[in-house]
Amino acid sequence: MSLEDAKNQVDQAFTRNDPRGLSFENAFGGATSFLRRRYSKDLKGVDLAVTGIPFDQAVTHRPGTRFGPRAIREASTLQPYDPPYGWGYDPLALLNIVDYGDMAFDYANTREVPARIEAHLGAILDAGAAPVTLGGDHFITLPILRAVAARRGPVALIQFDAHSDTWVDDDPDRIDHGTFLYKAIREGVVDPGASVSVGIRTENPDTLGVTILDAPSVHQDGVAATLARIRQVVGERPVYITFDIDALDPAFAPGTGTPVWGGLASWHAAALLRGLAGLDLIGGDVVEVSPPYDTTGATAIAAAHVAMELIALYGWTRRGG
């Protein structure tokens, strides 16, 4: 296959016959599934399912992350022509990946959303597929973790974020993007002793035992030392990765609801994610992309690359390194 195939290929989200392999339809046209993977609700034989949860409730400053999955899919159309650079293998050839579409919910019935997310992700996991989820605000990670922990036990977590999200919140009815990790730890679905938060740069008096590798430490100590510490904490545990796009400095990702200066550069994120190769990834998400605040599309492009790296990390372990 080559770019010559763009003469005939279009709408690969619906028309592709082989679930594996690259895609060469014109980036500016066609149905915008993630990486031009086939849309499917049939998960038989699927290794990894990409799904969107277009939900935002009450973010700190700027709403709009409900549009994140759509923007990330559109940005991803720049990526499926070649294997991701530097990995040395092609995860799109190795893995059977589908775009599972978005989760359906009643926007006027917010209270039912947590259970819907947990059931939606549970269906993916029960089919034997690993989930990569496009958000949506960071609340969505809580019911995702509940679904994973119900099947795998307490989760080792790597969180890329500007905020620790462990502010006190003991009201079970609150749906809050800033307290997902507090509740996940209190509920026992995350093991804080095997969990790391990277890129933090806001004050929080109690991180509940999670190891904090804040943004200044990444800048000062460097990528290699940061990776060594992450691996020391996580060990051999299966791990879930959640990536809040505001882990990146606003210079690299302005389209987020809670921008904080002094963050990671995009090259930090690329090197850190790549450096986690060999960990037993059981799923991941990228959240908080708010396209209305970034007309350049840079934030969605960054998120699309994060999602691709999560896919490549998952495939790396499955291919034996």
Q: What is the pLDDT along the chain (321 residues), one digit of tens a residue?
A: 466 677 788 988 998 888 899 988 888 998 999 999 999 999 999 999 999 999 998 788 889 999 999 999 999 999 999 999 999 999 999 999 999 999 999 999 999 999 999 999 999 999 999 999 999 999 999 999 999 999 999 999 999 999 999 999 999 999 999 999 999 999 999 999 999 999 999 998 899 999 999 999 999 999 999 999 999 999 999 999 999 999 999 999 999 989 999 999 999 999 999 999 999 999 999 999 999 999 999 999 999 999 999 999 999 998 887
Rg of the chain taking only CA atoms, in angstroms: 18
Give the CA dihedral 321, 79, 161, 127, nearest 10 degrees: -60
Specify the amino acid at residue 95. L
What is the 3-state secondary structure of 178-214? CCHHHHHHHCCCECHHHCEEECCCCCCCCCCCCEEEC
Q: What is the pLDDT of residue 3?
A: 63
**83: DSSP letter:** P
Q: What is the pLDDT of residue 320?
A: 81
Distances (CA, A) of 298 to 36, 139, 171, 254, 258: 19, 23, 36, 8, 16
| Ranges assigned E (strand) in the chain | 48-53, 97-102, 130-135, 156-160, 196-198, 211-213, 239-244, 281-287
Report the C-alpha gap between 222 and 214 in whole angstroms: 12
Do 258 and 60 meet the contact criterion of CB atoms below 8 Å apart? yes
Q: What count of residues does the chain have?
A: 321
Q: What is the pLDDT of residue 17?
A: 84
Which residues make beta-bridge pairs with 135?
Answer: 53
Stretch (H or E) spanning 317:
helix 298-318
Which residues make beta-bridge pairs with 50?
Answer: 99, 132
The side-by-side arrangement of strands in the sheet containing 239-244 is 97-102, 48-53, 130-135, 281-287, 239-244, 156-160, 196-198, 211-213
**259: DSSP letter:** -
Do 90 and 22 meet the contact criterion of CB atoms below 8 Å apart? yes
Do 316 and 275 meet the contact criterion of CB atoms below 8 Å apart? no
Q: What is the pLDDT of residue 67?
A: 96
**pTM confidence score:** 0.96
Q: What is the pLDDT of residue 5?
A: 75
Neighbours of 298 (CB within 10 A): 17
Cα angle 180, 183, 189; round to 5:
100
Q: What is the pLDDT of residue 59?
A: 83
Q: What is the pLDDT of residue 54?
A: 98
Do 320 and 278 meet the contact criterion of CB atoms below 8 Å apart? no
